[in-house]
Amino acid sequence: IMIALTIIYLALEIDKKKINEFKWQYAFIFGLLHGMGFSGALSEIGINNDQLLGSLLLFNIGLEVAQILLILFFFIFLKLFELLKLTTNLKNLLSYGIGGIGFYWFIDRVIVMIGF
């Protein structure tokens, strides 16, 4: 639930035009929350303690590679929007898209937590 709330918060910050003021402390705290969530997912898979260090290492390397690829994709996408002079629409698209996904995950987690 907390991971979904951090995503919703980021979408609201984008919408308020304060993304340049986004503090590194928020990124650090959000990173810790997301890391705890991902480590919980690993423990649910059933990784034994003797395989835990290697599994965590490979899992984190995979996450970092995926993030780098996502950033590259985002910059290409952003450049395309700049060429088409659609950057003001991009901010709104990203804000509402990220917020919608976060809200969906939040509702999904709450429903699972209360047992529906």
pLDDT in tens, 48-101: 667 777 877 787 788 788 878 988 887 887 788 778 777 666 777 777 888 898
pLDDT of residue 8: 82
pLDDT at 16 over 70: no
Q: Which residues lie below 8 Å from residue 15, measured CB to CB, with a gap of 6+?
A: 91, 92, 95, 96, 99
> Which has more confidence, 54 or 46?
54
What 31-34 contacts at long range (C-beta under 8 Å, 24+ apart), as own/partner pairs, is: 33/2, 33/3, 33/6, 34/3, 34/6
pLDDT at 18 over 60: no
For the chain, the first-to-last Cα distance in angstroms comes to 15
Sign of CA dihedral 97, 99, 103, 106: positive
Rg (CA), the chain: 17
